[in-house]
Structure 1
């Protein structure tokens, strides 16, 4: 069976990094393929024996990119294991990346400006691109790359391609509110109401993975109560998400800095669900500093 990974998302969100990571893993990769040529490519590679393919398709394909969901469904009906990875990032992050690299946004000259002497601004380009790709973003697994280094994104891509896509994957992610809520989160739980180890000088340099922090939080009843409430909520509603044919459900837990409380709770809740479901764990702030 042919396996197809489609990479899409906002310009500047890391699609080239993702495609390169798949190429390094042995995938036949094609960048910026026009949507209409996708069936032709798959048939051609089937005849040559290529079974693992990764293709980047984005707004550079023009209006035809909106037809991508229909093409994905057609390929699945032909027995191709097709999955979409959608990369996103905060608008200010994308603007900063384009400004730093001095690259030109692909939509820079798409629409006539109000002032003929000017083109679309970078924020306007990002907003327009987000509108064009809105539907595509709802059918794939989303990754918010706003706070991710290239190395972390490559590691997350490796995790993504290694899961059994016939089953739902629960993805638990810790994060710090000071760096923004992850765009890829389906459910967000705010755990900032819990006691903060940051205010203990001995615990401050540690993380929720360290024994001393774990002991501190284990012995607090409010921490355990909130943990139990989140777990119960997920146990109650997970069957409904499965019935909705979800492939991924991203559950994000946030504290102030993403170092202690959210990390501890993600690990604890993930361990519980690993006994029943396919689980991935991400610690956004720790992954970027590790």
Structure 2
């Protein structure tokens, strides 16, 4: 039986992810107490359920410390498990709570000086969930629309079973570095197609932009350096039992140079590893 665990920060999109998996044929349960994880998995296996998705979050704060050992038990019992952690910047979470006027699940906890403020609640939640985050594949939802998140979650589930999955992600520095990145490469020093009027509305996926960039040796050199670095270290990461590695490539706007290199790198590594690609700024349009 395949078990997908959805966890993460409150307001990061766990309900959206769970609904995506439900539409995908998973039997889904929201807010399962961690102490019931093993009995629930055994029950569903007896019922011949093949695909189960669970959402567990800080609403079960008192029993969250059980989760790492519970997940290890599931793996030892022969269950296929994958963990997805949804995260977002604190500013994004603050804005979402302000827009929806929802209370944070930790807002009722009492601190020494009184009820926790929203900012303190978010930081306290990060601390409580830190161990779960370390053991999961992280998706930064700060700039994702619901359809994007649904697509990302489904692509990760489809990749399950591979020894290790590479995720290449382009982004624009003007909107911040993705918090789900394991490695970040800055390519802003490369020639910028933005300053060519005919190329400005295009992206790194378009042939005229690609031909422009391929005229410059530095672009090929940068691509080669990134490839060499990953070629050297990916086998070691696989031996360390890493399931997902996210490599973020950033330029100023996330439209031309970073997109081009993500396309080229994902093509190169797809012959060696299961490879996914994302274009944060293009996908959000």
213, 231, 235: which one aligns with 2:231? 235
Post-superposition Cα deviations, 1:135-168, rounded to whole Å, max 9, x if no partner, equal: 1101011000001000100011110110143410
> Which residue in the other structure is 1:106 paired with?
105
Q: Is residue 149 of structure 2 the alignment partner of residue 153 of structure 1?
A: yes
- Quote how far apart the aligned CAs of 1:83 are: 1.1
Aligned 8 A contact 1:66 1:136 in 2: no
Question: Considering only aligned residues, what root-mean-square deviation do their CA atoms show, in Å?
Answer: 0.9
Structure 2: which 5+ runs fail to align? none
Of 100-109 and 40-49, the range deviating more from structure 2: 40-49
Q: Is residue 109 of structure 2 the alignment partner of residue 94 of structure 1?
A: no
* Counterpart-to-counterpart distance in 2, 1:43 and 1:238: 35
* Counterpart-to-counterpart distance in 2, 1:165 and 1:10: 26
> Which residue in the other structure is 1:176 paired with?
172
- Quote how far apart the aligned CAs of 1:207 are: 0.3
Classify the secondary structure of the residue corresponding to 2:246.
Answer: strand
Aligned 8 A contact 2:61 2:128 in 1: no
> Which residue in the other structure is 1:63 paired with?
62
264, 282, 289: which one aligns with 2:260? 264
> Which residue in the other structure is 2:47 paired with?
48
Matching of residues 191-202 of structure 1 within 5 Å = 191-202=187-198
> Which residue in the other structure is 1:37 paired with?
36
Aligned 8 A contact 2:82 2:160 in 1: no
> Which residue in the other structure is 2:130 paired with?
134
- Quote how far apart the aligned CAs of 1:63 are: 2.4
- Quote how far apart the aligned CAs of 1:113 are: 5.0
- Quote how far apart the aligned CAs of 1:276 are: 1.1
> Which residue in the other structure is 2:9 paired with?
10
Aligned 8 A contact 1:152 1:287 in 2: yes
Q: Is residue 189 of structure 2 the alignment partner of residue 190 of structure 1?
A: no
* Counterpart-to-counterpart distance in 1, 2:174 and 2:122: 23
Classify the secondary structure of the residue corresponding to 1:259.
Answer: coil
Structure 1: which 5+ runs fail to align? none
Q: Given the superposition, is the C-alpha separation of residues 203 and 166 from structure 1 closer, same or farther in structure 2, using an over 3 Å criterion?
A: closer
Post-superposition Cα deviations, 1:187-233, rounded to whole Å, max 9, x if no partner, equal: 00000011111111111100000111000001111111111111111
Q: How many residues get paired?
A: 285
* Counterpart-to-counterpart distance in 1, 2:111 and 2:241: 41
* Counterpart-to-counterpart distance in 1, 2:258 and 2:130: 29
Post-superposition Cα deviations, 1:67-118, rounded to whole Å, max 9, x if no partner, equal: 211101001111000111000000000010011001000000113351x4xx
Hey, which bits of structure 1, 4+ residues long, moved more than 2 A?
none
Aligned 8 A contact 1:86 1:141 in 2: yes
Classify the secondary structure of the residue corresponding to 1:7.
Answer: strand
* Counterpart-to-counterpart distance in 2, 1:109 and 1:172: 39
212, 233, 237: which one aligns with 1:216? 212
218, 223, 242: which one aligns with 1:246? 242
Classify the secondary structure of the residue corresponding to 1:201.
Answer: coil
> Which residue in the other structure is 1:25 paired with?
24
